[in-house]
Structure 1
Amino acid sequence: MSKISAIKGVIARLPVSDILDISSFIANHVQNQAVQVALTKRSQTMRCSACIQCGFACLVQWGRANSGTQRFKCRNCKATFGATTGTPLYRLRNRHLWAKYLGLMTTHIPLVKLREQHGIDLSLPTLHRWRHRFLTALIANPAQKLAGLIEADEKFFRTSFKGSRGWKRGARPQDRKMRRRGGADQRGFGDQQVPVLTALDRSGTIFQTQLPDTRWDSIGGAMKPWVEAESMICSDGNGAYARVAGQTGCEHMVVKKGSGGGNTRNLSIGRIDAYHRDVENLVNRRCMGVGTRYLMNYFGWARRITQHKPFGNDLLGEILAAY
């Protein structure tokens, strides 16, 4: 009888509680191995690449990290680095929890519940830092351009300095009274609201960026590199989109919100409105407001959830491969 068969026979005779403990142990072990495999694969890629500091193409092996992954040293600048150097994972400890944490990011789970219900027993500041380290890799827009039927619109969020102690210390980050929650103090799109430009097509590709203002030059400069020629841009009455269409060789159609189209071709921007509602629900309700400096992190998070892309080990591999 083989060892595996003997182990299976022993497990079959155990009570259910012990079997559940063994199942949990095996699941955690598999996650740990997946992280180690991803780091080893990156180490093998780095062995054939140039120095990340000076670009010199002559690296030598330089011992191993405490986690067991290979480290390298550049013969030119003498810099040493490992598998996580230059990535959002740099100097993050507790690697055995990375895959589990990333797997739970499929939906928003409060940080307190990650500790109490999911066994990630780390401090809240650490869990918050992990969240934004991982979300940093989701900010970048896709490489392929938008094509076909494109919807574009802006969404405004009130400025937030959540966590700032500036008002208490006499150094206000913004010239206004501090607020617990609520809307902007002034009407219109002043400096108390932040515009975010979003554009998507029917293939599910989503581009998004935070704008400094809503001037035509700002919208056009951000959107022109996203658009493939001979596409159809659907938007509201903002003249910036018509200018983008003319500069990229596209057709432009003005549609009305909430009218089911409002034009002869029955086109609308309903998909982008629905996406903005999802982002607003994540930012203002489920997260109860986020700091403006983190706003695009949450847009990247919402985009990945909307596109039904995997988290967990798949996202970990993408983070390591992107740097």
Structure 2
Amino acid sequence: MATLKDIENMLKDLTKNELRKLLKRVDKELSGHPSDLKALLTAKRYSNNHCHCTLCGSLNVKKDGHRKDKYNTQKYYCNDCKHYFTITTNSIVSGTRKDLTTWQKYINCMMNGFTVRQSADECGIHKNTAFRWRHKILDALTNMMNEVELDGIVEADETYFKQSFKGNHKKSKTFVMPRKRHSRGGKSKKRGLSRDKVCVPCAVNKDGLSVGKPATLGKPTVSAMHKVFDGRITSSAILCTDGEKAYQKFSKDNKIELVQIAGGKGKKGAYHIQHINNYHSRLKDFIKKFNGVSTKYLGNYIVWHNFVNFAHDSRENKEEIMLNYAINYPMTETNVMIPNRPATP
């Protein structure tokens, strides 16, 4: 049998066209098939050789034959909720016809911040599929990022985005436009912090951890701060903000030390809000690439930015984390439910 060295020597005699054909063949050999996804899911969803029900979480499960498909898919039966399921039920890859390599390519596209069309072209999938995959993966990331807690010196401030009802009109029988339409790309008709603006409270620390999501319309409120930051900033942290009064009530309610800098400029000893201002600038640049993000999806894009552009970790580790967490995440929404989310926070 030829050794690796023999094969390397043979490569020198191949034409460019032959090398391209060989590369496609190697890629095909490495790409695997849907069973590779099932193998990955099996490793994630099995615990101590016990499979838990993907619908109710019970361990009172037994094997129940195989599906009559070309993959001979193992079926399971839950003795508690009385449902049949397979290892892919309620997962992001349920019903997928794409292999593991396609999902890995798509994760790579997300790490690069590609648009839906760019991702679709790169992965050989329809743009609608690329859109659904994006939000399924981001839903999983949102669930993971909900466990993030900020400690140490935490800088917080709010930023604002124009309300966008993009994607709510098409085929909707229930959506009613709550305001007069704006010309696309035009400025808001109202000056200042009107209810045409979505308020997004955000916080960061020096360890690369960040929190942020749409909370209300118009000016920040104490309830908006609680909605975003409750359970996300430890009681031992020192919260550094501008002079916004809502932070005073929030920090008092949560027994967090507060340092406020009037006007948000300059420093107060070692305290400032330069990191959160930089974070906002990068977030705006990231969102701008997508040519208008609907308000109902804005939270997902913020999580995307936080994970890809702000978190401290290598790109390779982030890709692995994103793939493994997304594939193992128990899906609660169908494809039909994704565009039917509330239009405003």
Please list, as runs of the form range in 1=range in 2, the aligned pairs for 1:1-323 lying within 5 A after superposition: 1-2=1-2, 10-27=10-27, 29-32=29-32, 35=37, 37-45=39-47, 48-61=50-63, 62-63=65-66, 70-95=74-99, 96-116=101-121, 118=122, 120-140=123-143, 141-165=145-169, 172-213=176-217, 214-256=220-262, 259-261=265-267, 263=268, 265-283=269-287, 285-305=288-308, 306-307=310-311, 309=313, 310=315, 311-323=318-330
Whichever residue aligns with residue 79 of structure 1, its letter is H
CA offset at residue 36 of structure 1? Answer: 5.2
Secondary structure of residue in 1 paired with 2:142: coil
CA offset at residue 69 of structure 1? Answer: 5.5
TM-score, normalization by structure 1: 0.84
Cα 1:162–1:4 change in 2 (3 A) is same
What is the aligned length? 318
Cα 1:77–1:228 change in 2 (3 A) is closer
Cα 1:81–1:173 change in 2 (3 A) is farther
CA distance in 2, matches of 1:182, 1:32: 48
Secondary structure of residue in 1 paired with 2:117: helix
CA offset at residue 72 of structure 1? Answer: 1.9
CA offset at residue 18 of structure 1? Answer: 2.4
- Could you tell me which runs of 5 or more consecutive residues in structure 1 were left unpaired when the two chains were aligned: none
Secondary structure of residue in 2 paired with 1:126: helix
CA distance in 2, matches of 1:112, 1:233: 41
Residues 117 and 127, structure 2, Cα contact 8 Å, conserved in 1 = yes
* C-alpha RMSD over aligned residues: 3.1
Cα 1:258–1:107 change in 2 (3 A) is farther
CA offset at residue 271 of structure 1? Answer: 1.2
Report the identity percentage: 22
Residues 142 and 205, structure 1, Cα contact 8 Å, conserved in 2 = no
Secondary structure of residue in 1 paired with 2:213: strand
Residues 147 and 228, structure 1, Cα contact 8 Å, conserved in 2 = yes
Residues 135 and 300, structure 2, Cα contact 8 Å, conserved in 1 = yes
Cα 1:41–1:54 change in 2 (3 A) is closer
Query: Once the two structures are superposed, what CA deviation does each residue of 1:99-125 show, in whole Å capped at 9, x if it has no partner?
Result: 111112112223333355x3x222221
Secondary structure of residue in 1 paired with 2:30: helix
Query: Once the two structures are superposed, what CA deviation does each residue of 1:123-174 show, in whole Å capped at 9, x if it has no partner?
Result: 2212212211211112233535211100011111111111333799996332
Cα 1:143–1:169 change in 2 (3 A) is closer
Residues 99 and 316, structure 1, Cα contact 8 Å, conserved in 2 = yes
CA offset at residue 208 of structure 1? Answer: 1.8
CA distance in 2, matches of 1:292, 1:144: 23
CA offset at residue 6 of structure 1? Answer: 6.0
TM-score, normalization by structure 2: 0.79
Query: Once the two structures are superposed, what CA deviation does each residue of 1:61-107 show, in whole Å capped at 9, x if it has no partner?
Result: 24256556543222344422233322333333323411111112112
CA offset at residue 232 of structure 1? Answer: 1.2
CA offset at residue 304 of structure 1? Answer: 1.0
